[in-house]
Structure 1
């Protein structure tokens, strides 16, 4: 464990909040949100930053959950004392989305009517619903305005939604490797993953038990998804056409063995129903294109930082530039950076000194500039 510039040992907490009326008319009652906080909320409560996670992320963005924990939170390189999201200056909040499976209300939650897990009877949730649930959490702290909302990939969609759902509530918005809506190709990859789960013999219409869940289908879904997170150059550099270590029972190539490992390890930390719910929320999120997008973003009042990555073919830079163009057309304050990387979509999660500098500079820049 490396505690240098770390927030140290942290605890994931849960907040039981009020009723939440979802986009589809259903009411989530109660609304439970898992979250972590780092740093100290100022007496004026004006230094809070909300971190939004990507598809398979959770509330554990930084630090360690115990003294024996070997891996820190998913964005530990950027959250902590002296880091981009400096906990010496800011109060950082990271929460798990509703519909997920890491402590917030979702398919694994107990239905108060039946006394059993909701499973596939859990109501559909949208990106907007995720933001509404986050707003309940932020309100519980007595915070009147967020200094910033930041997130990558699906987290970027949440941040973008924040800027128009609550335009008076945030000063800054940081969006990394994201999009105003999914393309047909992006929907297609998610659909293949969902079909892998639905085709698993243990699917049982989403009403499966823990000891008989659609593990194989979920593993295959993760394998497909993981391919899209990397770049061709990175996969070539890391695996080439090399054979796997050990025997050839599972794959003839190292990259196949790697994907099998990723799939099998994923099923131990994620739920198949949640995978379906969250990917559907991603696919249904749409702020439009061109003039439609400009109109959708017109309520925003905050300052924006948009970051894209040259090697990201899942959320290519062109989609980030769509957001930038529409924000400029709507006369919003926006800064755009395309970073030259070779890691693909995962670039926003990985250490990058240029990314650190860009985020640092943006957050330290006087708001009126």
Structure 2
């Protein structure tokens, strides 16, 4: 199938923005990409929502020489599951991110210096409220669907709860309506890895040496939670790279799984901001669609959109029972809610890998709207 081709990231200043906490950002810039054409009625839009270290670049390439296309390219394009011949597809970098949308690495217009840790804490709900401002600015009157995996799935659920009459359907993938104690624990250890790096310097490292060791270690920890026992054993087993010249008994020799973790850690350092990692994991910790409502169940029952929860059999970060729970609560309230499961060994990462599995599921659901 053809791809969306060459695309560009666009930027819009949405002015002052007040957060759920009451804190105020004097101005907010949002980075976003669009694919396809918005119809005259403004009613054919699909909002794609990215995960923790993702960005607005969902599909296509920015330059013909780019090695890889956007992170969900196999799902988005002409004739693909999210068909750009039918839908106007939008994705924006989240509030607090570091790929063009205002976050802790951005310059505070009131001081002329990067916010760093003076940036206010943001929530998933704040991200969604800012996305609503973007959607309104683009002339979108109603969403066909809000879809995303992991932190993107949190945003999708928050969209359906906060703006129940604005969207026809929602597809949260490998996520939950509120973060579990175990996931919060994983996030806290990752944050501590960054904070304990002397180069973090209370978040004031811009223009200096960045906390590379801390951010790398945080990513290594996170990567462990994104996989499964099956996938680790399939990919690496006990492969060892130090068997030559007595290396087996050297403390500095490594199994290949260790090499992989170190590689993934340093790879993130080259493309992501440590303070952003702190703020976005904190936003995930605070995620609870029931906050401000009489109960978690009553918050979910605000949803009017047709809902497809997608789980992953081997996901240890967001086990399938979290997605099943949301679907069951919605069905109890008489809402059209469904659950599908990816029978994948790849763990949480499956939503970024199993495109052949996801294509018929997503395509079929969207065609039913």
User: Which TM-score band applies after superposition, normalised by the shorter structure?
Assistant: over 0.9
TM-score under structure 2 length normalisation: 0.95
Partners of 1:251 and 1:85 lie apart in 2 by 46
Q: Which residue is equivalent to 2:281?
A: 279
Superposition RMSD in Å = 1.6
Q: Which residue is equivalent to 1:178?
A: 175
**Residue 270 of structure 2 is aligned with which of 243, 254, 268?**
268
Q: What whole-Å deviation, never above 9, does each CA across 1:68-115 have from its counterpart, x for those lacking one?
A: 100111111111111110111111001100101110010011111110
Aligned residue runs from structure 1 range 1-369, under 5 A: 5-244=2-241, 251-287=253-289, 292-365=295-368, 367=369
The structure 1 segments of at least 4 consecutive aligned residues displaced by more than 4 Å after TM superposition are 245-251
Partners of 2:69 and 2:36 lie apart in 1 by 16
Q: Does the residue aligned with 1:261 lie in a helix, a strand or coil?
A: helix
Partners of 1:293 and 1:321 lie apart in 2 by 15
TM-score under structure 1 length normalisation: 0.95
CA 1:241–1:31 in 2, change beyond 3 Å: closer, same or farther?
same
How many residues in Structure 1 have an aligned counterpart in Structure 2?
362
- Offset, 1:196: 0.4
Q: What whole-Å deviation, never above 9, does each CA across 1:321-345 have from its counterpart, x for those lacking one?
A: 1111111122211111112111000
CA 1:292–1:251 in 2, change beyond 3 Å: closer, same or farther?
farther
CA 1:29–1:200 in 2, change beyond 3 Å: closer, same or farther?
same
Structure 2: runs of 5 or more not aligned: none
Partners of 1:244 and 1:34 lie apart in 2 by 42
CA 1:250–1:360 in 2, change beyond 3 Å: closer, same or farther?
farther
- Offset, 1:251: 4.7
